């Protein structure tokens, strides 16, 4: 079984100049934990994840070292409005690890596990062709075993 047999395609994507308020809306409405970032030519240039948006709200290591008692957590929550005014390119992770659609499904899953990913972009010639999640992998293996295909 190959990645191409199981991956989700087409994948929902965003552009580097997309406002984060739009990305956050997609994440909250459709329960996306992350979205691939592609340029105008369809080339994969990064990924934007919920953790990227929320990271700016978390106390820093310095805050924790100095004692959390002095940290105004409610003020930090209000800073989310500032994050929403940014663009995807301001917070995205570039140089994303991806897998090939012709890769064996378990090899693709192993790449995800090794990097502690729950989802991974599937690319051909640096162009996004789909997304693979651990849920996709599990569902495919489950169905194949029930059908006696393995």
Give the number of domains in the chain: 1
Query: Model confidence over 4-52: pLDDT tens digits?
Result: 999 999 999 999 999 999 999 999 999 998 999 999 998 999 999 999 9
Range of the domain at 83: 3-146
Tell me what pLDDT residue 25 has.
95
Tokens of 53: 């948006």
Say whether pLDDT at 62 is over 90: no
Domain CATH number, residue 104: 3.10.580.10
Percent of the chain with pLDDT over 70: 89
Structure tokens of 139?
């569902």
User: 49 in helix, strand or coil?
Assistant: strand
> Can you give the pTM of this predicted structure?
0.83
CA pair distance 9, 49, nearest whole angstrom: 19
Question: pLDDT averaged over the chain?
Answer: 90
C-beta of residue 122 within 8 angstroms of C-beta of residue 51: no
């Amino acid at each position: 079984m190959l990645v191409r047999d199981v991956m989700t395609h087409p994948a929902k994507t965003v552009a580097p100049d997309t406002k984060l308020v739009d990305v956050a809306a997609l994440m909250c409405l459709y329960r996306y934990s992350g979205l691939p970032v592609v340029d105008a030519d369809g080339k994969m240039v990064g990924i934007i994840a919920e953790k990227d948006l929320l990271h700016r709200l978390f106390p820093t290591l310095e805050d924790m070292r100095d004692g959390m008692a002095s940290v105004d957590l409610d003020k930090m929550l209000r800073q989310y409005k500032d994050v929403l005014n940014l663009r995807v390119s301001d917070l995205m992770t570039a140089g994303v690890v991806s897998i090939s659609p012709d890769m064996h499904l378990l090899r693709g899953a192993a790449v995800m596990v090794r990097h502690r990913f729950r989802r991974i972009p599937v690319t051909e010639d640096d162009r996004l062709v789909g997304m693979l999640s651990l849920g996709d992998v599990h569902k495919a293996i489950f169905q194949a075993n029930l059908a006696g295909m393995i």
